[in-house]
Amino acid sequence: MPSRLFVLTGCARSGLRFTSQSLTALGAPCGHEDVLSLESFQRSGTIFWPSRLAGDASWLAAPVLGKLPERSVIFHQVRHPLATVHGLYSSGFFQQPSARRSFVQDFLPETKLGGPLVRCMRFWLEWNRMAEGAGDYDDLIYHRFLAEEFEGDRVSEIVALLGLVRDRSTVQRVLASTPGKDEVLDAHGADWDRLPAGNLRDEMMAAASRYGYGESVKLGVGA
């Protein structure tokens, strides 16, 4: 069991489920919205954290990271904006009313403006900025990584922050046996020209570059 409590977060459609299952298989029991869920936020009082879990993967956690216990580890998983926006738009996230859409719009009223595609673009940009804010808390341990680079030595580095030692061969074996990686890496014809030109797209491109995306990084659009 890891020595520290951790939360895996990022924008919706960033491949958090695959990562949470991989971390669990590597000895860091991680739920998927088992703790930080819509239901838990709607309850009054303290969030219940079961002893069987060391961590929880939840994009919903981004607005409340500052309320986590001291020395919690925040893993901020970023997926390429073209992949994430495609996934959000294809899922109809902003095309129909839902509790999750309302949750986003409560924290980001600007996602009420514009068409569905523009709202997805704004969601990716601002939600990741919100998750980045965890790096400003001295009592939290913040670590950001790209979903497309969750493999090999990078994963060993991530679990080391939890006090676990896993060699490259162990990591590769676990990742190979965990379903969902191909969906995260599926390129699916991603192209910046598919997004409307303007300041918002420029901001997204600048953020993607700052996060570390370049021509050598594979894109994806899976769940």
Which single residue is written with the structure tokens 């069987």?
52
Q: What is the pTM of this model?
A: 0.92
- Can you count the helices (H) and strands (E) in the chain? 9, 5
Number of domains observed in the structure of the chain: 1
- Domain assignment present for residue 219? The answer is no
- Domain assignment present for residue 51? The answer is yes
- Domain assignment present for residue 93? The answer is yes
Question: What average pLDDT score do residues 135-148 get?
Answer: 96
What domain range includes position 188? 6-211
Distance CA 194, CA 209 (A): 18
- Domain assignment present for residue 94? The answer is yes
Distance CA 181, CA 222 (A): 9
For residues 109, 115, 121, 127, the Cα torsion angle rounded to the nearest 10 degrees is 20
- Domain assignment present for residue 223? The answer is no
- Domain assignment present for residue 1? The answer is no
- Domain assignment present for residue 22? The answer is yes
Q: What is the CATH number of the domain that holds 66?
A: 3.40.50.300
pLDDT digits (tens, 9 = 90+) for 75-121: 999 999 999 999 999 999 999 999 999 999 999 999 999 999 999 99
**pLDDT at position 221, please?**
37
> At 183, is the pLDDT very low, low, confident or very high (cuts 50, 70, 90)?
confident
Other C-beta atoms lying within 10 Å of the C-beta of residue 11: 27
Average pLDDT, the chain: 90
CB 192 within 8 A of CB 207: no
* Amino acid in the structure at residue 135: G
pLDDT digits (tens, 9 = 90+) for 39-83: 888 776 567 889 999 999 999 999 999 989 999 999 999 999 999
Q: Residue 187 pLDDT more than 70?
A: no
- Domain assignment present for residue 217? The answer is no
